[in-house]
Chains A and B, each alone.
Chain A
Amino acid sequence: MTTTYETREHDVLIIGAGGAGLRAAIEALAKGCSVGVVCKSLLGKAHTVMAEGGIAAAMCNVDTADGWQPHFRDTMRGGKYLNNWRMAQLHAQEAPDRVSELEQWGALFDRTGKGAILQRAFGGHTYKRLCHVGDRTGLEMIRTLQDRGVQLGFDVYMECTITRLLTDGGRVAGAFGYWRENGRLIVFKAKSVVIATGGIGKAWPVTSNSWEYTGDGMTLAYEAGAELMDMEFVQFHPTGMVWPPGVQGLLVTEAVRGEGGILRNKLGERFMEKYDPKRMELSTRDVVARSIYTEVKEGRGTEHGGAYLDISHKPAEYVKKKLPSMYHQFKELADVDITKGPMEVGPTCHYVMGGIRVEAETAQSTLPGLFAAGEAAAGLHGANRLGGNSLSDLLVFGRRAGMAAADHAKRVSGSNIGSVQIEEAEKELLAPFSNTAAESPYAVHRDLQKVMQSLVGIFRTEEDLKRAFAELEELKDRAAKASVEGSRLFNPGWHLARDLKSMLTVSEAVALSALARTESRGAHSRIDYPNYDPVWEKKHNIIVREGGEMKRRESPVEEMPEDLKQFVMAE
């Protein structure tokens, strides 16, 4: 068939224009590379824009006792020791410099009385550590990075979806995709590719994630032969909106609790006293999410099946100043004035700790020339991510990925992309137009979300997970048959048909890993295996494609050096 397609060439191709992708682009540009950034939405609309609470970095502006070591320790403890220790160390050591850099590029954070960057408390962080701008830190960050990239001169391919990585003899050589606006095809040739496509939340119905979060990057990497890791660890943020239905899942920032918000059940009990009396509302997200879920399950939930989160004991002006977007969000969408009364909140699918397996220093995947950073990569957060560690992750490992991708591009010569791969990719992409079954991609998506919510949610069992497999097999068949109406011009039904494939792939990886891990750890809770298993503390689940099939392997957790271990384990 081979239709005509446009071809572009870059030293480094970055897929995804959120914090990690933009930070990687800036670094690769600074190293003198030609850089292309591809994103599914318009520039500046990536998920980073929605981040609210702040960037965790031990700047020590508020708590002088902080330092990289306590940040490292909090991250490892929060991740239940499944983190890649070296990533956690690099992250804690480099985050303050990355924040300062943002400031030098024009970002304006809230200040202390002495004029330094102000830092707030957050769940699982021992010290006040989150650099923030009210509750719109992500907007400040993405705008700053976006402007920096524009200034340095990257090429941005907006509203363009990559559907396949192209390889040449065991290394990455480019990518194939299409323009969402007009459906035309595009081939990128690149010496290095960085995946910064974020997470997978759209496989669940109650989620804080936007339509973009369909696990594309992980699927691209997996199909090209790279390994995925720790996919069972999906974070349910404890506080999403539960009412009205249209906003269900929308994020209520942890900063509400950071600023003193209190959780209560319908009986008025401050129930965190039962689950984590020491840290209360500022316990880690896995614990708070399970606590709210349990309260609701046991009949102590609010009218719409959540918990009350109350910040109204703080002065109204303070609430409006520190949590302005929460104030407006509740006022306009839920008719609730949070300065006067409580919010109703419940768990919402928010983040995946697992992703593409990478090396700590270089962010390189197991496929040469392919790098990954941010939520698309695994390792830093282990079994549970602390709030605020995501924005710092984007900066620290975005930069490292950009740097290593640039170095790699300088080392390797050009490659050959065979036309067979491109023809295959085109055929697959256009299939929904020639499918004749009356299967709607929207219907398949709704059913996938039901399966993931009910069978692969906060609490899991062997029976549920096995059922999920059977359901996923059926959904895969239906998705392959899904047909679309209309033309190739900006056609959301067609876009979804394509994104469904990614969602199904990552859903299967989550279910496969979750079934294997016969213990409860961090965000992975098995009702049939409620305790830690010391054997599983030493193992990662690895997902890889072999002979066209999804296979699971196990890989040992890398041991921390003795001095760090003692520091982390000490009371």
Chain B
Amino acid sequence: MPDATLRIFRGEGAIGGQAVDYSVPIAPGMVVLDALHYIQGHQAPDLAVRWNCKAAKCGSCSAEVNGRPRLTCKTRVDSLPMDQPIVVMPMKSFPRIKDLVTDVSWNYTVNKKIPAFRPYQNTDWKISQLDVDRVQEFRKCIECFLCQDVCHVLREHGAKAKFGGPRFFVRVAGLELHPLDSLNRAGLLKDDLGIGLCNITKCCTEVCPEDIHITDNAIIPLKERVVDQFYDPLTMLFRKITGK
């Protein structure tokens, strides 16, 4: 089999750095992460890459391959055009640390704002499979942060201070639709997570490696909740009249 050329971003810190070409012998079924490991093991031992499971279960190895946010463990080399280098860049929405590794700590800060599951009192913990199925879609999220990377509110507008991003709408959907959860997170969605900033372009859904219908099943229903609670005309009128 021929060799593949990988053009990988190399650089330390937030600024500077350049793309460096590496030649890698292709093996059957090889994924981009295999190629990165080969480069580490034979050519550039200090090439910084995050990874863990190599099976699309942990969401560690996110990067941008030929311009598209992807898990490198799930991206087959033979699915990419071989007449040009495979370009591997770090996720753009997060500050660079080194090479393909970015600082994703902001996500963990957002997560802390979300009130945890709180069950109704005196529940008997009987739940139907139908209710479980509905919520499990959101609980499949492996926190690869590719949706955060592609979301233009974060990527182009850098609105990290006022916007939670698709990952955390999925998380809130998982809690809000839990059949036994007693809390209401609409205020959080509106104010702290800025769900109104999302204009449902569905970029997040397109890159999700778990095929979660982020926009249709999580964000839109949550937006509806916020609208019902805060922008319903009748309620608004009632509030205006009563001053409540």
Q: Quick check: A103 and B125 within 8 Å, CB to CB?
A: yes
B237 interface residue (CB < 8 Å to A): no
The number of residues on chain B lying at the interface, defined by a beta carbon within 8 Å of a beta carbon of chain A, is 57
Q: Which residue of the partner chain B has the closest CB to A324? A: B140
What range describes how many residues of A lie at the interface?
35 or more
Residues of chain A with a CB closer than 8 A to B129's CB:
110-111, 118
- Interface-side segment among B95-103, B154-162, B221-229: B95-103
Residues of chain A with a CB closer than 8 A to B220's CB:
none
Q: Which residue of the partner chain B has the closest CB to A115? A: B126
Residues of chain A with a CB closer than 8 A to B97's CB:
181, 489-490
User: How many angstroms from the CA of A116 to the CA of B125 in the assembled complex?
Assistant: 7
- Interface-side segment among B14-22, B54-62, B191-199: B54-62
8 Å CB contact of A106 from B54, B98, B116: B116
A30 interface residue (CB < 8 Å to B): no
A42 interface residue (CB < 8 Å to B): yes
With known contacts A42-B50, A108-B178, A244-B29, A490–B101 Cβ distance under 8 A: yes
Q: Considering the complex, which residues of chain A in the window 105-134 have a beta carbon less than 8 Å from any beta carbon of chain B?
A: 105-106, 108-111, 114-116, 118, 133-134
Q: Considering the complex, which residues of chain B in the window 1-58 have a beta carbon less than 8 Å from any beta carbon of chain A?
A: 12-13, 27-31, 34, 40-42, 44-58
Q: Quick check: B46 and A111 within 8 Å, CB to CB?
A: no
Q: Which residue of the partner chain B has the closest CB to A482? A: B45
Q: Considering the complex, which residues of chain A in the window 137-185 have a beta carbon less than 8 Å from any beta carbon of chain B?
A: 138-140, 143, 147-148, 150-151, 156, 158, 181
8 Å CB contact of A211 from B44, B52, B74, B139: B52
Q: Quick check: B126 and A244 within 8 Å, CB to CB?
A: no
With known contacts A104-B119, A148-B116, A494–B135 Cβ distance under 8 A: no
Interface membership of chain A positions 195-207, coded 1 if the CB is closer than 8 angstroms to chain B and 0 otherwise: 0000000000000
A332 interface residue (CB < 8 Å to B): yes
- Interface-side segment among A76-84, A246-254, A402-410: A246-254
Residues of chain B with a CB closer than 8 A to A334's CB:
29
Q: Considering the complex, which residues of chain B in the window 99-134 have a beta carbon less than 8 Å from any beta carbon of chain A?
A: 99, 101, 104-105, 108, 111-112, 116-117, 119, 125-129, 132
8 Å CB contact of A246 from B29, B46, B125, B140: B29
A44 interface residue (CB < 8 Å to B): yes
User: How many angstroms from the CA of A136 to the CA of B142 in the assembled complex?
Assistant: 10
8 Å CB contact of B52 from A151, A212, A246, A250: A212
Q: Which residue of the partner chain A has the closest CB to B55? A: A250
Quote the shortest CB–CB distance from B240 to chain A (angstroms). Answer: 37
Residues of chain A with a CB closer than 8 A to B42's CB:
442
Residues of chain B with a CB closer than 8 A to A115's CB:
126-128
With known contacts A106-B116, A136-B57, A441-B45, A44–B29 Cβ distance under 8 A: no
B175 interface residue (CB < 8 Å to A): yes
B76 interface residue (CB < 8 Å to A): yes
Quote the shortest CB–CB distance from B98 to chain A (angstroms). Answer: 4
B143 interface residue (CB < 8 Å to A): yes
Quote the shortest CB–CB distance from B140 to chain A (angstroms). Answer: 7
Q: Quick check: B51 and A211 within 8 Å, CB to CB?
A: yes
Interface membership of chain A positions 462-496, coded 1 if the CB is closer than 8 angstroms to chain B and 0 otherwise: 00000000000000000000001111011111101
User: How many angstroms from the CA of A116 to the CA of B126 in the assembled complex?
Assistant: 6
Q: Which residue of the partner chain B has the closest CB to A181? A: B97
Q: Quick check: B143 and A44 within 8 Å, CB to CB?
A: yes
> For the complex, would chain B's binding face be called helix, strand, loop or mixed by DSSP majority?
loop
A429 interface residue (CB < 8 Å to B): no
Q: Quick check: A492 and B40 within 8 Å, CB to CB?
A: yes
Q: Quick check: B60 and A108 within 8 Å, CB to CB?
A: no
User: How many angstroms from the CA of A411 to the CA of B105 in the assembled complex?
Assistant: 35
User: How many angstroms from the CA of A243 to the CA of B76 in the assembled complex?
Assistant: 14
Q: Quick check: A41 and B60 within 8 Å, CB to CB?
A: yes
Residues of chain A with a CB closer than 8 A to B184's CB:
none
Quote the shortest CB–CB distance from A121 to chain B (angstroms). Answer: 18
Q: Which residue of the partner chain B has the closest CB to A140? A: B139
Interface membership of chain A positions 84-110, coded 1 if the CB is closer than 8 angstroms to chain B and 0 otherwise: 000000000000000010011110111
Q: Which residue of the partner chain B has the closest CB to A332? A: B74
A302 interface residue (CB < 8 Å to B): no
Residues of chain A with a CB closer than 8 A to B44's CB:
485
A50 interface residue (CB < 8 Å to B): yes
Q: Which residue of the partner chain B has the closest CB to A135? A: B57
User: How many angstroms from the CA of A139 to the CA of B47 in the assembled complex?
Assistant: 28
Residues of chain B with a CB closer than 8 A to A50's CB:
52-53, 55, 57-58
Q: Quick check: B34 and A43 within 8 Å, CB to CB?
A: no
Q: Quick check: A244 and B46 within 8 Å, CB to CB?
A: no
User: How many angstroms from the CA of A484 to the CA of B45 in the assembled complex?
Assistant: 8
Q: Quick check: A133 and B136 within 8 Å, CB to CB?
A: yes
Interface residues, chain A, with chain B CB atoms under 8 Å away: 41-45, 47, 49-50, 100, 103-106, 108-111, 114-116, 118, 133-134, 136, 138-140, 143, 147-148, 150-151, 156, 158, 181, 210-212, 243-247, 250-251, 325, 328-329, 332-335, 440-442, 446, 484-487, 489-494, 496
Interface residues, chain B, with chain A CB atoms under 8 Å away: 12-13, 27-31, 34, 40-42, 44-60, 74, 76, 97-99, 101, 104-105, 108, 111-112, 116-117, 119, 125-129, 132, 135-136, 139-140, 142-143, 175, 178, 181
Further pairs besides A118-B129, A441-B45: 12, Cβ < 8 Å: A49-B142, A106-B175, A111-B128, A114-B126, A150-B111, A158-B105, A210-B53, A211-B52, A250-B54, A333-B55, A334-B29, A490-B98
- Name 24 A/B residue pairs within 8 A (Cβ), A-sorted: A41-B52, A44-B58, A45-B60, A47-B52, A47-B53, A49-B53, A106-B117, A108-B135, A111-B128, A116-B125, A116-B126, A139-B142, A147-B111, A150-B116, A151-B116, A211-B51, A245-B30, A250-B54, A334-B29, A442-B45, A446-B41, A492-B45, A494-B46, A496-B45
Shortest 5 CB-CB contacts between residues of A and residues of B = A244-B29, A493-B45, A106-B117, A486-B46, A115-B126
